[in-house]
């Protein structure tokens, strides 16, 4: 193929050179035209053709080798591109799988189950250490040491702690990979990070057998129990735990009201307690009274910490023992003072604080988006269940289809009419609804019945009014066009 191409190029160049030579030698008398010089483009083509012929003659395999090198390089580039694409596709599939795994409900339930297992292991470990301490102090309930009763318990506890902590580290890393920057914007992630860090320190100290941190290792282990609150986002997904989730959300919403209520009670108890301490101080400093009696009164009102603890008892519950001590050791008039304190200050202030606390909690909880969605979902589910019960009451035959005859018989029952009134339904609305849903067959199934009842229940919605207004405007526009077409203006 190369030799044929070179021969053709040589022949073409020869013909072009001969024509150029004839033109150059021809005079004006031969051609009748003005002689011209060789064409520049033609000369360039001839030179390039001759160079191609010389290159093909000198290296006939050069063209083939050049083409093969180009094909090899292009093939390598294609293979590299395909390998890069496959690697990217594999990474994308892995990230997609990890994303679906982390955001799935089974993964959350698995994490919750392991958190519960961690708590159970902690409880058993506390029992183990308690029995060991009880045997050391000679308690009768612990005649034998825990190491004798459970010889392999410490190794089992260490192995379980290592496995659970490793899983929690993997969970934290997966959530950080999937959520990226969004993960560290939530305080749950930082709490998990802190607890897992403490668990890692505890695991290292278990293996080393020494206390490098200078703190009780049980503190690090007890911190892992705080992950129990991590299950709240899993519990809210289940219907059976919605009340528990609502309770936790209400407690979280009441933090501000709780802070001010505690601050107000603390201020009141401090003021009244300091007043009582100053009134009792003369009795405590007087050596004329019995030292035993003064020590007993001192246990209740001698210092600020003792006084504050006693005021907490007087305010919130166990007010009888301090009152008896003051009345029997100091004076009977203290009984009247404490009754006044209980009836007026405690009863009024504590009850008002409780009322404000409950009101504020309900207000904040009612404005929470998750609580609102949960309540609406529960209300919708309850309404659907009631409508399904109504349909089954209407369906006397039990075939899952309500006919017009069954419908008329049921509506004639006064009890059924009252039940329909509790659902904000009128008998006339149901008759019209039945005619709309039966499609001329005289039969209605449960799903169509429930959907139709939910549509007509209650007052007209804003979207219904807006739809009616738009349809009216379209009808008016159509009538105006029709009038103009039928009765054109001359």
The rounded distance, in Å, linking the Cα atoms of 90 and 219 is: 44
389 shares its domain with 451: yes
> Residue 113 domain-assigned?
yes
Predicted local distance difference test score (pLDDT) of residue 233: 59
CB 195 within 8 A of CB 224: yes
Same domain, 203 and 256: no
Q: In whole angstroms, how far apart are CA 420 and each of 138, 327, 417, 453?
A: 72, 66, 5, 11
Total number of domains in the chain: 4
**What is the per-residue pLDDT for 217?**
56
Q: Which residue has the tokens 């005289």?
A: 442
CA distance 127 to 132: 9
- The answer to whether 99 and 91 have CB atoms below 8 angstroms apart is no
Alpha-carbon distance values, 50 to 4, 310, 380 (Å): 14, 117, 91
Query: pTM of the predicted model, to two decimals?
Result: 0.50
Residues 303 and 204 in one domain: no
Based on the fold, state whether residues 430 and 314 are members of the same structural domain. Answer: no
Taking the C-alpha atoms of residue 78 and residue 72, their distance in angstroms, rounded to an integer, is 10
Rounded Cα gap, residues 4 and 55, in angstroms: 14
Query: Among residues 367, 397, 426, which one ends one of the domains?
Result: 367
Cα 445 from Cα 161, distance rounded (Å): 56
One domain for residues 247 and 277:
yes
Instruction: Indicate if 233 and 105 belong to the same structural domain.
Output: yes
Q: What is the largest CA-CA distance in the chain?
A: 162
- Classify residue 263: in a domain, yes or no: yes
* Measured CA distances, 302 to 90, 150, 476 (Å): 74, 47, 89
Residue 135 and residue 146 in contact, taking contact as beta carbons nearer than 8 Å? yes
Tell me which residue of 408, 398, 399 sits closest to 434, measured CA to CA: 408
| C-alpha span between 147 and 131 (Å, rounded) | 9
Same domain, 441 and 467: no
Q: Is residue 37 part of a domain?
A: no
* Cα 365 to Cα 249: distance, rounded to the nearest angstrom: 7
Q: What pLDDT does residue 475 have?
A: 92
Distance (Å, rounded) from C-alpha 453 to C-alpha 447?
A: 10
**72: in domain:** no
User: Where a domain ends, among 185, 215, 237?
Assistant: 237
Count CA atoms closer than 13 A to 334's CA, side-chain side.
22
Looking at the fold, whether 358 and 293 belong to one and the same domain comes out as yes
**Percentage of residues in the chain with pLDDT exceeding 90?**
1
Q: Which of 190, 208, 237 is the last residue of a domain?
A: 237
- Give the tens place of pLDDT for each residue, 36-78: 444 444 444 544 544 544 544 444 445 445 555 555 455 555 5
Same domain, 286 and 247: yes
Provide the CATH number for the domain around residue 397.
Answer: 1.10.238.10
Shared domain for 404 and 360, answered yes or no, is no
**What pLDDT, on a 0 to 100 scale, did the predictor assign at position 210?**
59
| pLDDT score of 461 | 66
CATH number at residue 200: 1.20.120.350
Tokens of 36: 């011209």
Residue 483 lies in a domain: yes
Pair (219, 249) in one structural domain:
no
CB 16 within 8 A of CB 47: no
Statement to judge: residues 292 and 310 lie in one domain: yes
Domain limits for position 113: 101-237
Q: In this predicted structure, what is the pLDDT of residue 315?
A: 87
pLDDT mean values, one per 10 residues, the chain (490 residues):
44 47 43 42 48 48 50 54 60 75 78 83 85 85 81 84 86 82 76 79 71 56 64 58 72 80 88 90 86 88 89 86 89 89 82 82 74 78 83 80 80 76 68 71 80 69 78 90 79
Q: Residue 6: its pLDDT value, please?
A: 43
Q: What is the pLDDT of residue 102?
A: 78
Nearest to 176 by CA among 160, 157, 192: 192
**pLDDT (tens digit, 9 = 90+) per residue, 192-203?**
788 788 778 777
Residue 269 buriedness (CB in 10 A; 0-12 / 13-18 / 19+): buried
């Amino acid at each position: 193929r190369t030799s044929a191409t070179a021969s053709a190029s040589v022949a073409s160049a020869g013909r072009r050179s001969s024509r150029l030579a004839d033109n150059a030698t021809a005079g004006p008398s031969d051609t009748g035209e003005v002689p011209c010089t060789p064409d520049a483009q033609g000369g360039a083509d001839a030179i390039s053709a001759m160079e191609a012929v010389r290159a093909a003659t000198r290296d006939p395999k050069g063209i083939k080798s050049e083409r093969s090198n180009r094909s090899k390089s292009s093939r390598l580039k294609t293979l590299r591109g395909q390998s890069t694409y496959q690697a990217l596709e594999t990474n994308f599939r892995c990230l997609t799988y990890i994303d679906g795994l982390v955001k799935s409900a089974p993964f959350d339930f698995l994490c919750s189950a392991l958190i519960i297992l961690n708590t159970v292991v902690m409880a058993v470990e506390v029992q183990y250490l308690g029995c060991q301490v009880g045997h050391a102090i000679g308690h009768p309930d612990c005649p034998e040491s825990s190491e004798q009763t459970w010889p392999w318990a410490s190794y089992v506890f260490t192995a379980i702690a290592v496995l659970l902590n490793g899983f929690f580290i993997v969970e934290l890393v997966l959530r950080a990979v999937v959520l990226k920057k969004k993960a560290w914007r939530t305080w749950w992630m930082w709490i998990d990070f802190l607890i897992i860090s403490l668990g890692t320190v505890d695991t290292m100290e278990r293996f080393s057998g020494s206390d490098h941190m200078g703190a009780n290792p049980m503190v690090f282990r007890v911190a892992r129990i705080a992950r129990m609150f991590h299950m709240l986002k899993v519990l809210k997904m289940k219907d059976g735990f919605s009340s528990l989730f609502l309770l936790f959300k209400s407690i979280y919403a009441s933090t501000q009201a709780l802070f001010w209520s505690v601050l107000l009670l603390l201020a009141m108890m401090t003021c009244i307690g300091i007043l009582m301490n100053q009134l009792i101080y003369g009795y405590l400093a007087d050596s004329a009274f019995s030292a035993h009696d003064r020590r007993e009164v001192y246990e209740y009102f001698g210092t600020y910490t003792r006084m504050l603890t006693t005021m907490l008892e007087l305010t919130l519950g166990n007010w009888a023992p301090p009152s008896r001590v003051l009345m029997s050791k100091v004076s009977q008039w203290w009984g009247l003072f404490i009754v006044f304190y209980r009836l007026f200050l405690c009863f009024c202030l504590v009850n008002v604080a409780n009322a404000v606390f409950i009101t504020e909690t309900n207000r904040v909880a009612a404005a929470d988006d998750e609580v609102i969605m949960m309540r609406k979902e529960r209300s919708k589910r309850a309404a659907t269940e009631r409508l399904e019960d109504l349909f089954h009451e209407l369906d006397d035959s039990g075939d899952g289809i309500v006919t017009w005859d069954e419908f008329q018989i049921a509506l004639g029952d006064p009890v059924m009419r009252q039940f329909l009134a509790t659902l904000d339904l009128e008998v006339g609305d149901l008759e019209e609804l039945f005619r709309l849903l039966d499609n001329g067959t005289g039969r209605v199934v449960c799903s169509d019945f429930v959907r139709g009842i939910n549509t007509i229940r209650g007052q007209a919605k804003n979207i219904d009014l807006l739809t009616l207004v738009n349809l009216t405007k379209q009808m008016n526009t159509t009538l105006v066009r029709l009038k103009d077409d039928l009765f054109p203006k001359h």
